[in-house]
């Protein structure tokens, strides 16, 4: 892929281009040199506004690599899997993709949790750990095991402009119950399955093996 981008002069934008470009990458879900592209996206200043939509065709895609590539694009991006077992949904996915290409998106999303994380708790990270780009009509629930958290600050970027907002909770909005723990555990498991615990795929698999039983408990 790196060689292809270089061959067609896609590593640098056109001189007259004021906006980022949109890359739609179609593959079988296995991109062997995506690390080179991640380094490029991180260090090439001329690609900071580019967006990448990684599309895999088939049902054996390497979701870890595809999502890392889409998340590495500073201008935003998404991963779309065209599962061969559900061809009836392909048309809808293509139409949604074309609509998202025309939209601005929310990127660089981060949450500052104002609380007391338990350092002995192995699962004190938020889930999803890496927050994807958000387009119109998309919603996102973020969970975290943390104590005494009554305030959270959300930071995000839209069209190059940073927005910051803070939300508060009070004793009247607090609730207790097993369902919240189950939802948080489910979100962490989704990160496990999607390879979002670590940038390195091998490290991600190692963490899955190490913490599987702890998460079940």
3-state secondary structure 95-144: HHHHHHHCCCCEEEEEEEEEEECCCCCCCCCEECCCCCCECCCCCCCCEE
Domain boundaries in the chain?
Answer: 2-101, 106-216
User: Which tokens hold the place of 16?
Assistant: 């007259």
pTM above 0.85, yes or no: no
Instruction: Note the pLDDT tens digit of each residue in 20-50.
Output: 788 888 888 787 777 777 777 777 777 778 8
| Rounded CA separation 204/193 (Å) | 9
The predicted structure's pLDDT at residue 14: 53
| Rounded CA separation 47/12 (Å) | 7
The predicted structure's pLDDT at residue 97: 93
Low-confidence ranges of the chain (pLDDT < 70): 1-19, 118-123, 195, 199, 217
Q: Which CATH number is correct for 2-101, 3.90.1490.10, 3.40.50.410, 3.40.50.300, 3.50.50.60?
A: 3.40.50.410
The predicted structure's pLDDT at residue 37: 77
């Amino acid at each position: 892929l790196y060689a292809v981008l270089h061959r067609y002069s896609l590593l640098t934008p056109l001189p007259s281009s004021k906006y980022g470009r949109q890359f739609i990458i179609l593959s079988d879900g296995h991109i062997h040199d995506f690390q080179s592209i991640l380094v490029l996206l991180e260090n090439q200043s001329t690609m900071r506004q580019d967006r990448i939509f990684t599309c895999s065709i088939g049902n054996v895609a390497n979701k870890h690599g595809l999502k890392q590539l889409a998340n590495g694009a500073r201008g935003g991006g998404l991963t779309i899997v065209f599962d061969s077992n559900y061809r009836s949904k392909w048309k809808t996915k293509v139409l949604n993709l074309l609509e998202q290409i025309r939209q601005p998106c929310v990127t660089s999303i981060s949450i500052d949790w104002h609380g007391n994380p338990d350092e002995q708790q192995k699962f004190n990270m938020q889930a999803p750990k890496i927050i994807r780009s958000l387009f119109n009509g998309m919603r996102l629930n973020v969970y975290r095991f943390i104590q005494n958290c009554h305030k959270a600050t959300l930071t995000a970027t839209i069209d190059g402009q940073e927005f910051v907002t803070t939300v508060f909770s009070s004793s009247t909005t607090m609730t207790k119950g097993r369902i919240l723990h189950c939802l948080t555990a489910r979100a962490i498991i989704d990160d496990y399955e999607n390879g979002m615990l670590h940038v390195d795929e091998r490290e991600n698999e190692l963490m899955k093996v190490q913490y599987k039983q702890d998460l079940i408990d």
